A and B are shown apart, each in its own frame.
Chain A
């Protein structure tokens, strides 16, 4: 056996096992991911929501302190963690509230508010929704951080399977031209052609969506790192100060932040004591206005006792990487046609996974190991398989 054959066999072995281990989970991710591409449309279809007031363009936005007070009136006993502008709907914004400022924000209630009138709209419990169940299955299988990190590991195996798949693509195409589909042959040959063709055509997309998905599973850790890194650094001098007894205006804080960072608009505000701020600050997160810069948030810290800006910096590279990897995973940055393409590419990925499992089972039954088939330039000519 030559060194090249041995090396190919090794790659075949890697491709087989990384694929086999992650396939079931990748199928789950592809199937649950499909409706998630259209989660807004599905929610609109399945659930009615109170519409924000129709207003002429250039209507000024409501005073945020008044809006906040209206929200809290409708959520007795709750405290605000975040104030969030709706990316998709400029007429609405959210107040995220929890039982206390230190409570787990992932269990917060989202109150929808009218951004022009400042009126309360609704605060639906989303946890029973179809899209919520799909999202939980897709991100952590209802198993919290361990579930997330486990799926991340499966994502890494998926990426290794893609790369090893590129290597083993070469020997199986030695005698075939690009795009060959032998429609007249047995199913195992046809499905091998489908697997090879779809696999190689989608390499860039599956690698990007797979790897950005892996990065997304580290989101909690990345944000913790930022919290204990840059945020702690920016607020170090306030660490031992008593939290303010009375908070300054949040509306003024947002205005101060927007002034300090020209050309950017507010994306969300973290209240003093919440996980994205210090005990003494409002953190106003600002965003740019292009598809790319709108994802790159920039924090501005506003002293909640004096209402002055104390610091504003760009996020460190690891947070920016996370922010950029989000649209590349979700496919929500190029309008409806991009979403539809995302769905089609997702279905093609499911086809790659299913044909892959089938090829493995057929070869096992035929008693021909995958690595041997691959090493033998074009294993489909084997009499054991052309039944």
Chain B
């Protein structure tokens, strides 16, 4: 795993995760507009994704 770090990553490798997050959060922004109840719940879960990922990476990752 550490050897991969020295390699240059391709654009696809760099952007695949951000793209997924962007798609998921856009979905969350839209679906609360569509309806109430489950639609709202779906938007809470999807819009929480960037927040949860941020917390995971910054706070719950052990310092190296």
A contact residues vs B (CB 8 Å cutoff): 166, 169-170, 173-184, 194, 197-198, 200-205, 208, 290-292, 324, 327-328, 333-335, 337-338, 341, 344-345, 348, 377
Chain A residue with the shortest CB-CB distance to B6: A175
Chain A residue with the shortest CB-CB distance to B20: A178
Chain A residue with the shortest CB-CB distance to B1: A177
How near does chain B come to A268, taking the closest CB pair, in angstroms? 21
Q: Are A208 and B58 touching (Cβ within 8 A)?
A: no
- Known: A338-B40, A345-B47. Contact between A328 and B17, CB under 8 A? no
- Known: A173-B14, A204-B26. Contact between A334 and B61, CB under 8 A? no
Of residues 1 through 42 on chain B, the ones whose CB sits less than 8 Å from some CB of chain A are: 4-9, 11, 14-15, 17-18, 21-23, 25-26, 29, 32-36, 39-40
Partner pick for B64 among A179, A182, A205, A290, CB 8 A cutoff: A182
Chain A residue with the shortest CB-CB distance to B64: A184
B35 to chain A: which residues have CB within 8 Å?
290-291
Q: Are A194 and B58 touching (Cβ within 8 A)?
A: yes
- Known: A201-B18, A201-B50. Contact between A333 and B44, CB under 8 A? no
Q: Are A178 and B17 touching (Cβ within 8 A)?
A: yes
Chain B residue with the shortest CB-CB distance to A179: B57
Q: How many A-B residue pairs have CB under 8 A?
A: 108
- Known: A178-B18, A183-B61, A208-B26. Contact between A348 and B40, CB under 8 A? no
B64 to chain A: which residues have CB within 8 Å?
182-184
A174 to B50, CA, bound (A): 21
6 closest Cβ contacts across the A-B interface? Answer: A334-B32, A183-B63, A201-B50, A179-B57, A178-B17, A204-B22
Chain B residue with the shortest CB-CB distance to A199: B18
A337 to B37, CA, bound (A): 12
A333 to chain B: which residues have CB within 8 Å?
32-33
Partner pick for B50 among A327, A334, A335, A345, CB 8 A cutoff: A345
A182 to chain B: which residues have CB within 8 Å?
64
Q: Are A345 and B36 touching (Cβ within 8 A)?
A: no
- Known: A334-B32, A334-B43. Contact between A341 and B51, CB under 8 A? yes
A184 to B64, CA, bound (A): 6
Q: Are A181 and B57 touching (Cβ within 8 A)?
A: yes
- Known: A170-B15, A184-B63, A338-B47. Contact between A197 and B40, CB under 8 A? no
How near does chain B come to A38, taking the closest CB pair, in angstroms? 16
A348 to chain B: which residues have CB within 8 Å?
50-51, 54
B61 to chain A: which residues have CB within 8 Å?
181, 183
A201 to B26, CA, bound (A): 12
A170 to B18, CA, bound (A): 11
B7 to chain A: which residues have CB within 8 Å?
175
A166 to B21, CA, bound (A): 13
Q: List 13 A-B contacts (CB under 8 A).
A: A178-B17, A184-B63, A197-B58, A201-B18, A201-B53, A201-B54, A204-B21, A205-B25, A291-B33, A292-B34, A324-B33, A334-B44, A345-B47
